[in-house]
Structure 1
């Protein structure tokens, strides 16, 4: 029997499956429906045409190249094009999605245009009047976490999920902005939301738009007979990978695993510089499958029993009804850190920045995964001891965020029960 206890709010990272916290398990219950808008008054001077122009440019731009600096207009239009909810997955548990992932598709992180006193509503595709008002000092934009958009049954997990989603949102904005010739510059931390500007990037459009800066060897252009994908296709391909018929879990198809060039492309996405203040305190570790064998990022084979323990530790047992098809995954990534050591040395604000960094790093896998025709699902539900033991990491480290990558069935497929 699990007993619920009060935890120090500065130690909330211990909440959740596999986090060694003596708390009652999360039990899904009624949740507020945050879809349909923020409930704010649209700014009358705004329309969707500038966002549409950005999306049209992305539809013509070959992945992973970037456009020349200054080829787009107001950075606000780029933000709107990146974040607006536009994809429908009618067979899944949550139907409406943007082109980046979010817990239960709630999108609790919004962007404020501080100079104009506006906030972007991804549901209505409008910049709306911000109740906070304008503030023309410092960076133009700031992320704001609205934890009330997440279901109440998450409890103390909500601020953790919010900081992880700050990192996911920031990486997505940086990547889309990079594709159209802008560079994201973050100058402040996570406590009041990461503040940033979008400025003209390199005048030379050669190279990758992703902030990691690595070319993608798994680009479809390298495959005979396959047209090179555009950024528009890459952003549209990202599937939530959820089970149909409202069932929980991830839906993956059986496969023979990744080719070496595909594994290399995913690993390359985890490199580069994270544009956030503070030391790089988050470690990244990967596992990839070829055939029936799993390997570490150094190529060493993983013992089958240890791998089975990690896969079985992911919240739910592997079964068709709950969709935990992790044995079909092809690539796993784990962002790990020692939150207690970070807090002792740098304070709890540094722990929050570590969560933002983890979200940034994991989101970077989404784009090369889509280029490889895979689905990328962020998750926190792996058991820490099982993962750290397999990776040879100290037990005091926690998995801040992980990603599961594999082949997703065709859109709309139904599971035979």
Structure 2
């Protein structure tokens, strides 16, 4: 796939989606492979994860508190902090909720581990790192004490998403990378991101050996300063009846051949060709924030509050209500957005992206669009009706089965870039790296929102040309991602799944 092919691929799932396909319609009763562990991760041995992560996080004040734990349990607490189950929402059509956001709560990004003691698979419902039943020749050597390998399985997302599953998989990988680096920083663990093509290809071979499917190019994060978990321990409970996996395995085999995934695989090849050195250790948490969060906020509350929005009565979408936020709130978001992505290549991508935000009822600022600059926010366009206009440009309107609270949002963050220029300057792998950067930045905004009791909804469903005009963007610069933030109008008691 050439640079021109990648440009076409990007266009067909962005500005050209109205020409090359209609609106995506999802039957939520149709099965996916989302809950299916890889074939090699269904055994009865592994490493049980520790309990008490939520207590450790409760004792760590936001934003600069740190968790204190025994060295032997540190790896497990880091994994649960980064990816753990949080809650089940009775009225939500999509459960369960984790620390990270995911399309329809499908969580296509799977978490593998590699150490000198072998390879494992994070199974949150078994509360364990399950041993991967693989020969040692299929397991790449680790870069740190414990490597965390992140890869998205495209068939976990509903088939109608088509080629968009490629971008969504990379976006969620970027979200998971940020979540892992935040967790590592909270535990005092050194974390380094590797996107090198050779290392990614070796990790991809391990993942393919662990189970069939179409996977994104993996990202590896090397963790140092902890003890790798010891596998081989008998896990609680009895082994699953193999017949449980028969139907989803047949679905996986069928969906793996979907034509749209051929394009995704070709895009991945550019990542495998990239020669990117191991990045320096990088933080996920800003060194200074605006201290806008309520006093006494602990990290457990931040992760619990992380939400893409809620609606009642099993509707889809998200509700909202008007609220006035202080100026410190937008400064909190800016601090999280300013944390550079954890590799020179991703940081270079970030330099090419224009990050803008539409504000409504924030401090004393006029309603309208602003652009993030080195010294803060630069006014772009005053528009008292900007949120109503953005709602009209959003991908799904208010209907009897759908709510959309965008008109009441406090902030709409918009990520925009000249895609042809980006690919011409940095090569065809830049499309995939752009998605990682957007995910990295989006999760920072999600945590800032959660600390302030706001929702933060990542979105790719909108009319690019209308948003482009609202944000006063040049013709070649198109919005590639969006994060809507505000106060939810709906709340209800929720089932706590934390340990």
| 8 Å contact kept, 1:66–1:181 | no
| 8 Å contact kept, 1:220–1:372 | yes
| 8 Å contact kept, 1:67–1:181 | yes
> What CA distance in whole angstroms lies between the structure 2 residues aligned with 1:32 and 1:312?
31
If the length of structure 2 is used for normalisation, what is the TM-score?
0.71
| 8 Å contact kept, 2:353–2:415 | yes
Deviation at 1:196, TM superposition (A): 1.3
- Number of residue pairs matched? 392
The superposition leaves residues 289-320 of structure 1 with CA deviations (integer Å, 9 ceiling, x where unpaired) of 11793452425662235554332100122456
If the length of structure 1 is used for normalisation, what is the TM-score?
0.84
Q: Secondary structure at the match of 1:269?
A: helix
Report the CA distance shift for 1:351/1:405 in structure 2 as closer, same or farther (over 3 A). Answer: same
Match of 1:193 in 2: 218
| 8 Å contact kept, 1:294–1:302 | yes
Report the CA distance shift for 1:298/1:10 in structure 2 as closer, same or farther (over 3 A). Answer: closer
Q: Secondary structure at the match of 1:309?
A: helix
1:165 to 165, 172, 183: 172
Choose between structure 1 and 2: higher helix proportion: 2
Deviation at 1:70, TM superposition (A): 8.0
> What CA distance in whole angstroms lies between the structure 2 residues aligned with 1:88 and 1:13?
35
Deviation at 1:124, TM superposition (A): 2.8
Q: Does 1:134 align with 2:139?
A: yes
Q: RMSD in angstroms over aligned alpha carbons?
A: 2.9
More deviation, 14-23/396-405: 14-23
Deviation at 1:8, TM superposition (A): 4.5
| 8 Å contact kept, 1:283–1:337 | yes
> What CA distance in whole angstroms lies between the structure 2 residues aligned with 1:368 and 1:327?
21
Deviation at 1:169, TM superposition (A): 0.7
Deviation at 1:164, TM superposition (A): 0.4
Report the CA distance shift for 1:237/1:308 in structure 2 as closer, same or farther (over 3 A). Answer: closer
More deviation, 390-399/294-303: 294-303
Listed as ranges, the gaps of 5+ residues in structure 1 are: 1-6, 202-208, 222-227
Report the CA distance shift for 1:320/1:234 in structure 2 as closer, same or farther (over 3 A). Answer: farther
Q: Does 1:316 align with 2:315?
A: no
Q: Does 1:146 align with 2:146?
A: no
The structure with the larger Rg is 2
> What CA distance in whole angstroms lies between the structure 2 residues aligned with 1:407 and 1:320?
21
Listed as ranges, the gaps of 5+ residues in structure 2 are: 201-215, 227-282, 371-376, 494-499
Match of 2:319 in 1: 251
Q: Secondary structure at the match of 1:394?
A: coil
Deviation at 1:68, TM superposition (A): 7.2
Q: Does 1:332 align with 2:334?
A: no
Mapping 1:222-241, distance limit 5 Å: 228-241=296-309
| 8 Å contact kept, 1:247–1:321 | yes
1:346 to 413, 420, 426: 426
> What CA distance in whole angstroms lies between the structure 1 residues aligned with 2:218 and 2:193?
11
